[in-house]
């Protein structure tokens, strides 16, 4: 029998040990984070049946509900930060003991291990990595994309979290009830298994439980409402302005909505070269579909540019809740005309003076000419008398 040199045997042993160590290292690198790392419990590999045992099955999972924080009644024409509160109301309905046994441990120790797994099963109601995106299916209500989506790292049962979304309510939105949609995605712990001693053969140490996570998608509905209220339009403007004069301008307003505007006041905002001594006119109550006319006396500077002027106007009123409200700003377009060319008294007097002066000059000039024509005749007559 040929004897293998000790040196060669030693090299072969070192090679086998090194290879085994590398395999063990690779297994531990891939398995260890999955089973024992709390920083990333959702990424893991599932150990085979011989490396884990399942003592308990829990019945329960997260239940996410959503509602608006504060008053869900919104106002037309406003842009607001809508606060949405999400709450986790999930509960564990019960546990089922499974017929599973580990080898090589006594009954009392196994029961302790099983109870420890049951405690871990209680985390089944915790929602993790929540992502919620607010959506509107109505053309009158817009959700700004910059506020989507909102996320919550973890929400345990019995806890809440507030999300904030920016929404715009169109000024033409009909009054009534609406629904916003809130698609929600999250993960939760679907099962927990106890790691057995056989897992050591895979290089997994210091890990007690293997967790299985599932992803859940659901769409929550958030009720809101848009409250009714008056809405005004300028339907007619009569009158025009004249340079250097004050004129009466009549502005007719109409309430195009379904509620009465009580004790309404119409207001205009004028700036140079226009001015007014009375910018507010009382209109009284204006019912749905009713029209009221306000008369404003407006003055224009002499040097005002001839063109159409857009004057801002608004209506202040008392709403159905007894609170003071303001309409949206409305534009009142008024033309300004050039002043008529007229002669003033001073101008006429100056013209008369000039005419009289011209007449006097012409008259003096005529007399001088006449005297010059008569001068030779007089001299001849004087010579005849001397002879």
98: Cβ contacts below 8 Å, ≥ 6 apart: 54, 55, 56, 57
Residue 86 lies in a domain: yes
Q: Are residues 134 and 239 both part of a single domain?
A: no
Q: Are residues 162 and 280 both part of a single domain?
A: no
Residue 151 lies in a domain: yes
- At residue 198, the pLDDT reads 66
Select from 58, 53, 144 the least CA-distant residue to 99.
Answer: 53
Q: Are residues 102 and 201 both part of a single domain?
A: yes
Q: Are residues 246 and 207 both part of a single domain?
A: no
- At residue 347, the pLDDT reads 67
Residue 297 lies in a domain: yes
Domain CATH code at residue 149: 2.60.40.10
Q: Are residues 160 and 247 both part of a single domain?
A: no
End-of-domain residue from the set 204, 226, 248:
226
- At residue 109, the pLDDT reads 84
Q: Is 122 helix (H, G, I), strand (E, B) or coil?
A: helix
Average confidence score pLDDT of the chain: 82
Asked if the model's pLDDT at residue 217 lies above 90, the reply is: yes
Which of the two residues, 206 and 268, has the higher pLDDT score?
268
End-of-domain residue from the set 188, 205, 226:
226
Query: Are the beta carbons of 126 and 62 closer than 8 angstroms?
Result: yes
pLDDT digits (tens, 9 = 90+) for 159-173: 999 999 999 999 888
Question: Which DSSP category does 48 fall into?
Answer: P
Q: Are residues 273 and 219 both part of a single domain?
A: no
Asked if the model's pLDDT at residue 150 lies above 90, the reply is: yes
Hey, how many other C-beta atoms are within 10 angstroms of the C-beta on 83? 13
Task: Find the helix or strand (DSSP H, E) in which 21 lies.
Answer: helix 6-36
Q: How many domains does the chain have?
A: 2
- At residue 202, the pLDDT reads 56
Q: Are residues 60 and 156 both part of a single domain?
A: yes
Domain encompassing residue 278: 232-337
Query: Are the beta carbons of 183 and 219 closer than 8 angstroms?
Result: yes
Q: Are residues 220 and 238 both part of a single domain?
A: no
Q: Are residues 71 and 176 both part of a single domain?
A: yes
pTM across the whole model: 0.60
List b or e across 229-255, with b for residues whose CB sees 16 or more CB atoms inside 10 angstroms: bbbbeeeebeeebbbeeebebebebbb
Q: Are residues 217 and 241 both part of a single domain?
A: no
Which of the two residues, 106 and 17, has the higher pLDDT score?
106
pLDDT digits (tens, 9 = 90+) for 63-99: 999 999 988 888 888 899 999 999 999 999 999 998 7
Residue 300 lies in a domain: yes
Residue 14 lies in a domain: no
- Average pLDDT value for residue range 321-333: 91
Strand extents, DSSP E, 228-358: 232-238, 241-242, 246-255, 261-269, 274-275, 280-286, 291-300, 308-318, 324-326, 330-337
Residue 13 lies in a domain: no
Asked if the model's pLDDT at residue 38 lies above 90, the reply is: no
Q: Are residues 218 and 304 both part of a single domain?
A: no
Residue 38 lies in a domain: no
Q: Are residues 170 and 61 both part of a single domain?
A: yes
- At residue 366, the pLDDT reads 76
pLDDT digits (tens, 9 = 90+) for 124-143: 999 999 999 999 999 999 99
């Amino acid at each position: 029998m040929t004897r293998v040199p000790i040196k060669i045997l030693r090299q072969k042993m070192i090679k086998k040990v090194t290879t085994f160590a590398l395999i063990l290292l690779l297994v531990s690198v891939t398995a260890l984070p999955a089973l024992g790392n709390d920083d990333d419990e959702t990424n893991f590999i599932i150990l085979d049946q011989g490396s884990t045992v399942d003592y308990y099955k829990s019945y329960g999972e997260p239940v996410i509900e959503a509602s608006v924080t504060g008053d869900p009644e919104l106002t037309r024409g406003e842009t607001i930060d809508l606060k949405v509160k999400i709450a986790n109301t999930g509960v564990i309905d019960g546990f089922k003991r499974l017929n599973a046994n580990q080898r090589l441990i006594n009954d009392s120790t196994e029961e302790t291990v099983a109870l420890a797994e049951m405690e871990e099963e209680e985390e089944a109601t915790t929602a993790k990595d929540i992502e919620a995106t607010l959506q509107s299916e109505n053309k009158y209500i817009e959700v700004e994309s910059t506020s989507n989506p909102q996320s919550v790292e973890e929400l345990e049962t019995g806890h809440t979290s507030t999300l904030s979304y920016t929404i715009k309510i169109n000024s033409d939105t009909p009054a009534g009830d609406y629904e916003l949609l809130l698609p929600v995605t999250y993960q939760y712990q679907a099962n927990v298994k106890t790691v057995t001693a056989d897992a050591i053969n895979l290089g997994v140490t210091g890990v007690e439980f293997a967790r299985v996570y599932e992803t859940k998608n659901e769409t929550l509905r958030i009720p809101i409402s848009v409250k009714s209220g008056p809405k005004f339009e300028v339907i007619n403007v009569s009158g025009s302005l004249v340079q250097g004069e004050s004129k009466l301008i009549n502005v007719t307003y109409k309430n195009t909505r379904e509620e009465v505007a009580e004790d309404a006041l119409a207001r205009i905002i004028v700036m140079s070269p226009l001015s007014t001594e009375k910018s507010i006119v009382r209109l009284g109550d204006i019912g749905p579909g009713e029209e009221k006319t306000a008369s404003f006396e407006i003055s224009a500077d002499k040097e005002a540019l001839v063109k159409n002027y857009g004057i801002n106007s608004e209506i202040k009123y008392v709403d159905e809740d007894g609170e003071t409200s303001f309409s949206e700003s409305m534009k009142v377009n008024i033309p300004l005309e050039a002043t008529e060319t007229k002669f003033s008294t001073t101008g006429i007097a100056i013209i008369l003076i000039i005419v009289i002066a011209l007449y006097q000059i012409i008259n003096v000039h005529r007399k001088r000419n006449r005297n010059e024509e008569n001068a030779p005749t007089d001299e001849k007559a004087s010579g005849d008398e001397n002879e």
